[in-house]
Chain A
């Protein structure tokens, strides 16, 4: 039987938060592999041949993704028309059943059973649901029912001409609608509450390390933690409280990563404290404050080229240009003014003291010194 799949990323107004700096959450690595990768891999394993992805976003380079995956970028206005067109295309090319799934949550699905259920019931439309009955955006549609499919797509998977047969799944879905959901899913996976397995070797209880990762002997990895393939954790860095460092990332010396995810190809600078955040693509998303900050300073947060060749070339060019650039910078540099003392903004009396007591202070001094940093206390402090 020819079973194919259409995976949808975005497409609904409420899907506006399902991305991180323009990369869909389903495309971001989670413990070594993206959800899209995990879903397609499972589909391939269970006999679903051809898969099309229709997304509002561009494809993020992922070598692990199957090469026969067809990626279509569709803007929001054309999204569902495009889906309908792909469905028709699959139908014309001999598909008998099409699995349609919107990647706004993660759930382990036994596709063989789902398809079998659909066939056994002689159903025109089957929809998966959680054990408690809450419906998922996962359907099996017979290609002979194009009009039914068209109706569903035009109503963004929310209304149907015929009531679908409900297929109960063995486990609940894990929503993936915000960056916080993405981080929660990582923590739930560490706790064994999902079927997501970290892609790597468990070097000690709760610590997984993927092939090619390099961890300095002075770095501390506190379980649960995951270090992705070719990631690098340098001296005196600390990875703790369920933190995830994805492939090809680098955590520079002395940096503490606490309850955070560092996305692939990110380079986190030295001596930083990354906490309760998702970091990547030169952005930091703080989960508690729900604030996304773009970091322009490359010494704090940078992104390496996604291609290995580009990375090597980039390093070579940097090496070749380092001396000339340093000399040029030295020629241009005016004497840098080092602040003699802490700025008045820090020294100022707290608001509880009278306003008059602080009025005398010079306004011009109320700026932070460019070299000022703040840090948290740890351990024996």
Chain B
């Protein structure tokens, strides 16, 4: 099966590049698959990740993306075109983003089986926190874009609530829920001797500046440190593209505080070390844009999670049986109490870590990708077998059955 994966892809640092990389890595393991990654163009030439067939044929905020992708896909002639999408994948400019989001529908019209993995919904995004003006206009555009995305052959979302929204509000019939997955094939059991020894490291990880902000966390941390002096705060990750300079400004403000460290952008190979030594991971968000990739990485390394009480995260925790402690969103006291109680209770920390690790084992990347491939395979088979189903209705005594069969089932040959 030939698959074209349309995604942001490292070394690009645009949204979902890591998730796209892990999908591609997993697909690459299957010898029966031929994978081409149709990735975003880089700002400056950089070497491609080894072992992948990457065609950089679209660019952020470009109106020509539909035509360029269509041409690239026509050249490859894949069986499946798989989009790994956010609403802002193809651009921040509304017109460029909308043009990009129409590509799955165009691909389907061109005769390709098109699948979209949609990481969030406009309906669930707090546009205020995301730094968007003209809310109503954006909502209307988001509604239209969602409708257009649903024209793909099938759509996967990462939260059951999103599926319900798409089915009930948009009348989507081809929407499936699939777990986010933990971006790893074989998570390693956490080494508890590395944690709280001697420092209790509180980790915050993400792209900061919009709805992920650090002020609340740092304010809480001061209270935590008063109770637990050996606590340290590690803030990992770079700025959100919409908030350039945010992390640097916060780092500048707290330069004198040796208990708070800023790592900046964390490369893929540095992630294990970062999480293995963390006692707890905090998600100090003001709203959510879907299933949290960061929470899944924490599960992979068996790290307990403390998270703002946002309905999407609560649902994610319940559905995937993650061990998450929720604090009242925006309440620094509650967050501080939550962190202090957790890192002060070694047995609870360990219990949560084990629960998260156990959840991780249930949703490794191979398991998640297998679900996708199974559905692609079934669609392919169903499509090839449809003519057979019609052919069987022809009575047995009709002459020239063989000739009719050959005319009616041109796709049958590749099955042999």
Contacts and interface: CB of A to CB of B under 8 A. Distances in A.
Contact of B405 (A236, A322, A341): A236
Nearest to B176: A347
Interface string B379-395: 10110111011011101
Interface in B377-414: 378-379, 381-382, 384-386, 388-389, 391-393, 395-397, 401-403, 405-406, 409, 412-414
A122 interface: no
B297 to A, nearest CB: 18
Given A347-B375, A373-B382, A216 B388 contact: no
Contacts of B416: 220, 236, 238, 256, 378-379
Contacts of B402: 216, 218, 234-236, 253
Interface string B357-393: 0010011000100110011001101101110110111
Interface size class of chain B, counting residues whose CB lies under 8 Å from the partner chain: 35 or more
A352 B382 CA distance: 26
Contacts of B395: 318, 322
A75 to B, nearest CB: 37
B381 A353 contact: no
Interface size class of chain A, counting residues whose CB lies under 8 Å from the partner chain: 35 or more
A234 B32 contact: no
Interface string A274-289: 0000000000000000
Contact of A267 (B371, B389, B396): B396
A374 B389 CA distance: 12
B179 interface: yes
A372 B378 CA distance: 9
A270 B414 contact: no
Interface stretch (A24-32, A139-147, A158-166, A354-362): A354-362
Interface string B290-334: 000000000000000000000000000011110000000000000
Given A340-B173, A349-B179, A234 B391 contact: no
Contacts of A220: 416
A128 B373 CA distance: 60
A252 B401 contact: yes
B173 A234 contact: no
Contact of B32 (A236, A349, A381): A381
B382 A342 contact: yes
Contact of A270 (B164, B321, B371, B405): B405
A342 B375 contact: yes
Contacts of A254: 388, 405, 409, 412, 415
A302 B362 contact: no
Contact of B397 (A252, A256, A318): A318
A269 interface: yes
Contacts of B415: 254, 375, 377-379, 381
A380 interface: yes
Interface of A: 216, 218, 220, 234-236, 238, 250, 252-254, 256, 267, 269-271, 299-300, 302, 315, 318-319, 322, 340-342, 346-347, 349-350, 352-354, 356-357, 360-361, 371-375, 377-381
16 contacts: A235-B402, A253-B402, A254-B412, A254-B415, A271-B385, A300-B392, A319-B397, A341-B174, A347-B375, A349-B177, A349-B178, A352-B367, A373-B388, A375-B381, A378-B416, A381-B415
Interface of B: 1, 32, 154, 160, 163-164, 173-174, 176-179, 318-321, 359, 362-363, 367, 370-371, 374-375, 378-379, 381-382, 384-386, 388-389, 391-393, 395-397, 401-403, 405-406, 409, 412-416
